[in-house]
């Protein structure tokens, strides 16, 4: 699986629609200070579901929408699409090419899509579980992150290895199952109370 394409429109400094094609091998993004290099990695984090405006170097989520310049009006929405070659089937979905899209409007309304079909953020999160991709995946190493990984608590470091070894999805499913079990236990208690009252 490899990253094929990134399309950005109205996100931060990218008012017009741009398309970046990633060929096999290493791609380096170069440019003068303030030209938008980091905005590209912000766009990748954002489309993968980043919810923290601070991580995206902004104050509020609306800050990701092109804010206008002296010569250009602000835009009403931002959209980013990220396309992966899935011919090796690593992503658990029956498509050889997978595009995830996120769009946000100034009203705060937000949409996620997988191959142009609307979905939930949870679906995007689950699609990339155990692949190392994702807003917190080890495939995106932000500035200062290497130090953070080396100095993090052993439990946090273990999380990185768990994702790499592919057991994270089972842990997440186990937590969900435990949460549902607890809810069912509570419901049973309530039903028993009602039965006792009725008897």
> How far is the C-alpha of 95 from the C-alpha of 97, rounded, in Å?
5
Least distance to ligand ATP from the beta carbon of 14, Å?
8
Taking a C-beta distance cutoff of 8 angstroms, is the pair 13, 78 a contact? no
Least distance to ligand ATP from the beta carbon of 72, Å?
9
Least distance to ligand ATP from the beta carbon of 36, Å?
4
Least distance to ligand ATP from the beta carbon of 77, Å?
12
Taking a C-beta distance cutoff of 8 angstroms, is the pair 42, 12 a contact? yes
Q: Is 63 in the site for ligand ATP (CB under 6 A)?
A: yes
> How far is the C-alpha of 50 from the C-alpha of 56, rounded, in Å?
8
Window contacting ligand ATP (CB under 6 A); options: 36-44, 45-53, 106-114, 132-140:
36-44
Q: Is 9 in the site for ligand ATP (CB under 6 A)?
A: no
> How far is the C-alpha of 171 from the C-alpha of 76, rounded, in Å?
39
Of 59 and 198, which has the nearer Cβ to ligand ATP?
A: 59
Element (H, E) at 164: helix 154-165
Which residue among 20, 36, 61, 125 contacts ligand ATP (CB under 6 A)? 36
> How far is the C-alpha of 164 from the C-alpha of 175, rounded, in Å?
19
103, β-bridge pairs = 79, 111
Location of structure tokens 């400094």: 13
Q: Is 37 in the site for ligand ATP (CB under 6 A)?
A: yes
Of 7 and 163, which has the nearer Cβ to ligand ATP?
A: 7
Binding site for ligand ATP (CB under 6 A): 12-13, 31, 33-39, 63, 65-67
């Amino acid at each position: 699986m490899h990253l094929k394409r990134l399309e950005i429109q109205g996100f931060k400094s990218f008012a017009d629609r741009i398309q970046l094609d990633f060929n096999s091998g290493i791609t380096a993004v170069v440019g003068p200070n303030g030209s938008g290099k980091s905005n590209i990695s912000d766009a990748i984090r954002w489309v993968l579901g980043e919810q923290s405006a601070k991580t995206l170097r902004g104050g509020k989520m609306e800050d990701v929408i092109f804010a206008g310049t002296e010569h250009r009006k602000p835009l009403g929405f931002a959209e980013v699409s990220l396309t992966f070659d899935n011919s090796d089937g690593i992503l658990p979905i029956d498509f050889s090419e997978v595009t995830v899209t996120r769009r946000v409007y100034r009203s705060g309304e937000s949409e996620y899509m997988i191959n142009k079909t609307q979905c939930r953020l949870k679906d995007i999160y689950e699609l990339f579980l155990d692949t190392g991709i994702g807003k917190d995946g080890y495939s995106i190493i932000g500035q200062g992150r290497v130090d953070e990984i080396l100095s993090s608590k052993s439990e946090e470091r273990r999380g990185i290895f768990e994702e790499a070894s592919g057991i994270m999805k089972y842990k997440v499913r186990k937590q969900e199952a435990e949460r549902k079990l607890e809810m069912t236990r509570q419901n049973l208690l309530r039903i028993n109370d009602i039965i006792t009252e009725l008897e």
